[in-house]
Structure 1
């Protein structure tokens, strides 16, 4: 089946709907970068082989995808890229951003809303994984404006994105201790490990897309240099006032809510209808799985507690102090803190 013409549609549209209409060429991951990968420093952590690529520890299976993305991805005016370390509110941000950007075609109360029938990750493509699988061309089938996400460090993004005033980047982070706890619960479903093992690896900076402090600093510094192009969000602050953050997001991407939208309560409806708890309870997120190209994750695994401060149930005071000290030392002088 031929792909629908992007010119006939206005984005964002659910990636899953477009992907099923695109001929599946079963293309394999790019192999021409194999020599580059084999020459990179390596380590083993949590049963995974990591390669150090431009200062970041990357799962070996993803390095070729990162290189391919850097060399082959072509941005378009209006592109919106959601960036984050893993387990920092990515799924919720995808839902809120998607619902905000498609509100003209799908009002939040629409019973046919895509978020009611599919997982947020099926609506917003994870471009790292597509390029890892050699399927980056699938992004070309999406109509503009495109909404995508990545876990790549800012330093690993193509200059065509980071230096492009027509592309917007929205970065979300959370307290690194909570991120670590959430990551452990997420990973142990596909890669059994103890929390102590993950904790020690994180303290050494050797986790997928680590070190976490470099991940944070890259986007933090870029947001200070280019505030019109990078919006830096904190998960904990979004929990306190999600409606205001949805407004901020809409303004940042150039689609602010009109006075009529406000009177109609659209921002509040988006937050209410696509809150973490509402999404967690949907049938689409209780069944099925997401193909992560390297691992498969159940839809249910993307929704655990969604709260702040759960780290106290997993870390001893000594562990928390050790991790806080490392993070504070690495972020020292940047103005970015988590207390």
Structure 2
């Protein structure tokens, strides 16, 4: 629940600003410079009062976010999952862009990596449904799960017309819908990083996040 009386223009007028790109300005808040929409997000977060039924999806960009959103929407809204044929997953689940929380309070947080989801999508879809409080039921559970896995697959989503054309306007640039769908496989890092760099990253992750149960392979 968020205070709907928040006036972004009034808020921006009270903050220091500097010229950025084109006609855009950056605004200073909390010692940092932000785009206008970030000011709004910051205020929303500060005012946000979560309800027990709220679901917050948090993921790194280019790490299966579109796929996860499609799965979440399909699991929760099974009777209307056909909307994914005409709407981008990001339109259906707006962007609000931790492991320790998942370990300490597993009832309230579910941790999932892209690699795990790619390796065993059916079981992870079942686990997500259980976590969300809407488990699959009936004699055709496997068929229900497979239907969602198929409908939210990279091949299906990336080839839908709604995800090949159009996009999302922003203050910085127009974001094409197809930019949310890249290659859809694990291991693309090998095209951009040497084995030595990968080893260094793995070692750093192991050092910093070993106690949280992270895997140590990029």
TM-score using structure 2 length: 0.81
CA distance in 2, matches of 1:305, 1:39: 37
CA distance in 2, matches of 1:86, 1:29: 31
1:99 equivalent in alignment to 2:74: yes
Q: Paired residues, what number?
A: 202
Q: Would the alpha carbon gap of residues 294 and 227 (structure 1) be closer, same or farther in structure 2, given more than 3 Å must change?
A: farther
CA distance in 1, matches of 2:131, 2:195: 39
Q: Name the SS for the 1:232 alignment partner.
A: coil
Q: 1:31 aligns with which of 12, 15, 30?
A: 12
Aligned-pair Cα RMSD in Å? 2.7
Asked whether the equivalents of residues 203 and 216 of structure 2 are also in contact (C-alpha less than 8 Å), the reply is no
CA distance in 1, matches of 2:9, 2:204: 40
Which residue of structure 1 aligns with residue 58 of structure 2?
A: 83
Q: Would the alpha carbon gap of residues 80 and 333 (structure 1) be closer, same or farther in structure 2, given more than 3 Å must change?
A: closer
Asked whether the equivalents of residues 30 and 68 of structure 1 are also in contact (C-alpha less than 8 Å), the reply is no
1:315 equivalent in alignment to 2:205: no
Gaps of 5+ in 1: 1-25, 43-50, 52-58, 127-149, 152-218
What is the correspondence of 1:124-135 to structure 2 with a 5 Å cutoff?
124-126=93-95
CA distance in 2, matches of 1:94, 1:65: 23
CA distance in 1, matches of 2:172, 2:212: 34
Higher relative contact order (CA 8 A, sep 6+): 1
CA distance in 2, matches of 1:323, 1:299: 31
Gaps of 5+ in 2: 1-6, 17-26
1:121 equivalent in alignment to 2:90: yes
Higher strand share: 1
Asked whether the equivalents of residues 94 and 121 of structure 1 are also in contact (C-alpha less than 8 Å), the reply is yes
Q: Name the SS for the 2:57 alignment partner.
A: strand
CA distance in 2, matches of 1:333, 1:268: 34
Q: Deviations for 1:173-201, whole angstroms, at most 9, x for unmatched residues?
A: xxxxxxxxxxxxxxxxxxxxxxxxxxxxx
Which residue of structure 2 aligns with residue 258 of structure 1?
A: 137
Asked whether the equivalents of residues 250 and 257 of structure 1 are also in contact (C-alpha less than 8 Å), the reply is yes
TM-score using structure 1 length: 0.54
CA distance in 2, matches of 1:75, 1:309: 36
